[in-house]
Amino acid sequence: MKKVKVRVTFIEEVLGTSSNDVAVFDKFIASKAPDAQSKQEEIEALGVEQVIENGMTVFPREEGKPFIWDYQFKGFFKEACKMLRAVKGTKSSTLKAYKDKIDGRIFPAPRKIIVNLNGVMGECQRPLRASTAQGERIALAISETIPAGSTCEFEIKCLADDDIELVKEWLEYGELHGMLQWRNSGKGSFTTEILGIV
């Protein structure tokens, strides 16, 4: 097993993804994984008292510092691999059963990846539009944001040495396509510096 130590620097602001309404969050987590060990841990990390509006999505906190869950980076890897599989000449284009391989062989750590802020956290308001059977629907979404220039450092454990080059390819994709909420608009895009491989 090899470990890749990385520093991620966000080019664009990053939008929070957790509901700050503990009851809603609790119900959602319970419906997805009623026996999950992380359920209580995730609910406790929300820091609801730090945010005024119930409809706002926020970042969980550890001792007052915002963090990103390890599985959110794993989810980014799956999305990056899915897109890069369609690009000839990429390492990802040869990967079969990529979701299983990412789930079983690639492990970002620690569980809570602390974000070092570059300034103060803000808010992003944007309209959400949907075409429904009842007609066009519009709602306003509000998310807490981490400012551009903020960084986080973590390691990625790779069970197979070949996975290191895949991880590098996916991290490079982060400059083109962001992570977390509103990523298709470029929010959450980042650059990566490899700090070491051991």
pLDDT tens string 68-102? 999 999 999 999 999 999 999 999 999 999 999 99
Quick check: is 45 in a domain?
A: no
Q: Is the peptide bond before 110 cis (omega within 30 degrees of 0)?
A: yes
- DSSP helix/strand/coil, 10: strand
Give the CATH number, domain containing residue 13: 3.30.70
Tell me, yes or no, whether 37 lies in a domain. Answer: no
Please state the pTM of the whole predicted model.
0.78
Q: Which structural domain, as residue segments, surrounds residue 67?
A: 2-17+59-122+145-197
More confident residue, 132 or 75: 75
pLDDT level of residue 26 (50, 70, 90 thresholds):
low
Number of domains within the chain: 1
For residue 137, being part of any structural domain is answered with no
User: Does some domain include residue 164?
Assistant: yes
pLDDT band at 112 (very low <50, low <70, confident <90, very high): very high
Is 23 part of a structural domain of the chain?
no
Q: What is the pLDDT of residues 61-77, one digit of tens each?
A: 999 999 999 999 999 99
Look at residue 51 and tell me if it is in a domain: no
**Residue 81 located in a structural domain:** yes
DSSP letters spanning 98-162: HHHHHHHHEEEESSEEE-B-SS--EEEEEEEEEEETTEEEEEEEEEEEEPTT-EEEEEEEESSTT
pLDDT at 145 over 60: yes
Residue that wins the pLDDT comparison between 104 and 29: 104
Residue 158 lies in a domain: yes
Residues ≥6 apart with Cβ < 8 Å to 35: none
